[in-house]
Amino acid sequence: MELVTDNLTFKPENEYFLNQVSLEFQAGKLYTILGRTLSGKTSLLKTIAGLQPIDSGSITFEGKDFGSIQVWKRNVAMVYQQFINYPHLNVFDNIAFPLKQRKIKPPELVNKVSSAIRKVGLDGFEKRKIHELSGGQQQRVALARSLVKKAKILLLDEPLVNLDYKLREDLRDEFKNIFSSDFSTNSILIYSSTDPLEAMQLNGDIIVIDEGRILQSGIAKDVFENPSNIRVSEVTNDPAMNIFNGTIESNKIFLNENIRFDVPVHLKAIQAGSYHFGIRASDMFLDTKGFDFNVEIAEISGSETYLHLNQDELNVVLLLEEVKNFNDQDNIKINFNLKKLYVFDEKGDLLFSPFNMN
């Protein structure tokens, strides 16, 4: 079972929502569409569901033209980031609604709904009204209603974005269990997210989209380790990968007049010239023998500290996996883990990755 989009383009009012999007989706796999807000994620899902038109291109499913099939006849289920449920119905009836529309007989209907309720962890909530549920429970109802349809294509549009952090973590784990069930082997699962950590934890294939164009796709680990260009490196990291303009001369890397260091072993083959250098926030560290930077902003998030630093117009974000207090304009010394340094050419395309030195 295969879903194929071929050069999908949607350009209302001269602005690309989708720009020649060509993708292949196989049953039994989870695909995460990763991109920032307004990158085209929702437009792509709505197009597959038949809820948004296209200017050109085509969609085929199981070898048939999907565009010619009416929306209500497409075997597609979609879960939105908002909690879309029927407020006048209880949990059981919300989930049973699409089965009743198909006139499924009561014994079979009860079995299917009960199975979906168990999968999303809502046992005992069958008679609750929607207003009696928490936000996470409401989203589980919406998910169960999609699961019970046994749709061949399940689309999830940032389904956890409106939940608090802890609940997002819990539900993300539950989603992974659901996706690994028998249900997923017969379905195409497409999940959209703005959160690179979420995309990595779901551990499927990642499709990076930006301004309606597909930048890179592949196994999550491969895309993270070998971003094809600077834009992908920014989208797949939170905070975005630090990017510096610099040069290589006399076997040394120069980021500015004060920051220079020997070319690391994995970059020895690179020629002298101008480049963009990249390093993740977690691949820098405090070092009393390092380079001087001033603290612009210090943010504590859980058990981590994010430092926004500056030196002569060179800005970096450093991640410390501990809680430390800093004041604005504190002077600190940091250093770079050069084994984790990336190099991009002047156009922004990847030249050298520390994970791919062949």
Report if residue 186 sits inside a domain. yes
Q: Are 81 and 142 in contact (CB under 8 A)?
A: no
Helix axes 165-179 and 135-148, enclosed angle (nearest 10): 20
Q: Are 25 and 188 in contact (CB under 8 A)?
A: yes
pTM above 0.85, yes or no: yes
Q: What is the DSSP letter of 13?
A: G
Question: What distance in Å separates the CA atoms of residue 148 and residue 97, rounded to the nearest whole number?
Answer: 10
Q: What angle do CA 235, 239, 241 make, to 5 degrees?
A: 65
Report if residue 237 sits inside a domain. no
pLDDT of 313: 85
Same domain? 207 vs 264: no
Question: What distance in Å separates the CA atoms of residue 57 and residue 61, rounded to the nearest whole number?
Answer: 14
pLDDT of 147: 82
Same domain? 226 vs 282: no
Q: Is 293 exposed, middle or buried (0-12, 13-18, 19+ CB in 10 A)?
A: buried
> Which ranges of the chain have pLDDT less than 70?
167, 174, 176-185, 357-358
Helix (H, G, I), strand (E, B) or coil at 85: coil
pLDDT of 59: 95
Same domain? 37 vs 172: yes
Beta strands in the chain (DSSP E): 2-10, 18-26, 30-34, 56-61, 64-65, 76-79, 153-157, 188-193, 205-210, 213-219, 242-249, 252-254, 260-262, 273-279, 284-301, 304-311, 314-320, 331-336, 342-344, 350-352
- Which among 58, 57, 50, 61 is positioned nearest to 27, based on CA atoms? 61
Same domain? 205 vs 253: no
pLDDT in tens, 141-175: 988 888 888 888 989 998 887 777 776 777 777 67
Same domain? 178 vs 121: yes
Same domain? 52 vs 120: yes
Residue 184's domain comprises 2-232
> How many Cα atoms sit within 13 Å of 321 on the Cβ side?
3
Cis peptide before 239 (omega within 30 of 0): yes
pLDDT of 315: 94
